[in-house]
Amino acid sequence: MKKGILGALIILALGTYLGVFVFKSEPRLNSNFDNEKSFYQKHPFRLGLDLSGGSHLVYKADVSEVEKSEVPELMNSLRDVIERRVNIFGVSEPVVQIQGGSFISGGDEQLIVDLPGVTDVEKAIEMIGQTPLLEFKIEAPIENLKVDENGQVVFDTDSAYVSTELTGRYLKKATLQFDPSTREPMVSLLFDETGTKLFSQITKENIGKTVAIYLDGALISNPVVREEIPSGEGLNSGALPVPVTLVSKQTIGATLGESAVQAGVKAAIIGFLLVGLFLIAWYRLSGLIATLALSIFVIIMLFLFKLIPVTLTAAGIAGFVISIGIAVDANVLIFERVKEELKSGKSVKDSVNAGFSRAWFSIRDSNTSSIITAIILFWFGTSLVKGFALVFGMGVLVSMLSAITITKIFLRVVNFGQDNKIIRFLFSSGISR
Query: What residues have CB less than 8 Å from 103, skipping those under 6 apart?
Result: none
Strand partners, 245: 60
Domain annotation for the chain: domains and CATH numbers: 2-44+254-427 (1.20.1640.10), 54-132+245-252 (3.30.70.3400), 134-240 (3.30.1360.200)
pLDDT given for residue 1 in this prediction: 62
Mean pLDDT along residues 402-429: 74
pLDDT number for residue 192: 82
Label each residue of the chain as H, E or C. Answer: CHHHHHHHHHHHHHHHHHHHHHHHCCCCCCCCHHHCCHHHHCCCCEECHHHHCEEEEEEEECCCCCCHHHHHHHHHHHHHHHHHHHCCCCCCCCEEEEECCCCCCCCCEEEEEEEECCCCHHHHHHHHCCCCCEEEEEECCCCCEEECCCCCEEECCCCCEEEEEEEHHHEEEEEEEECCCCCCEEEEEEECHHHHHHHHHHHHHCCCCEEEEEECCEEEECCECCCCCCCCEEEECCCCCCCEEEEEEEEECCCCCHHHHHHHHHHHHHHHHHHHHHHHHHHCHHHHHHHHHHHHHHHHHHHHHHHCCCEECHHHHHHHHHHHHHHHHHHHHHHHHHHHHHHCCCCHHHHHHHHHHHHHHHHHHHHHHHHHHHHHHHHHCCHHHHHHHHHHHHHHHHHHHHHHHHHHHHHHHHHCCCCCHHHHHHHCCCCCC
Whole-number mean pLDDT of the chain? Answer: 77
Most confident residue range from 54-58, 207-211, 317-321, 389-393: 389-393
Looking at per-residue pLDDT, the higher value among 342 and 81 belongs to 342
**258-283 vs 314-343: helix axis angle to the nearest 10?**
0
CA distance 376 to 158: 36
pLDDT of residue 397: 93
pLDDT surpassing 60 at residue 176: no
Q: Supply the pLDDT for residue 182.
A: 56
Give the best-scoring range by mean pLDDT among 135-149, 203-217, 231-245, 417-431.
203-217
Q: Which of 6-10, 58-62, 121-125, 222-226 has the highest mean pLDDT?
A: 6-10
Beta-carbon contacts of 58 under 8 Å, excluding residues fewer than 6 positions away, are 110, 111, 112, 113, 246, 247, 248, 249
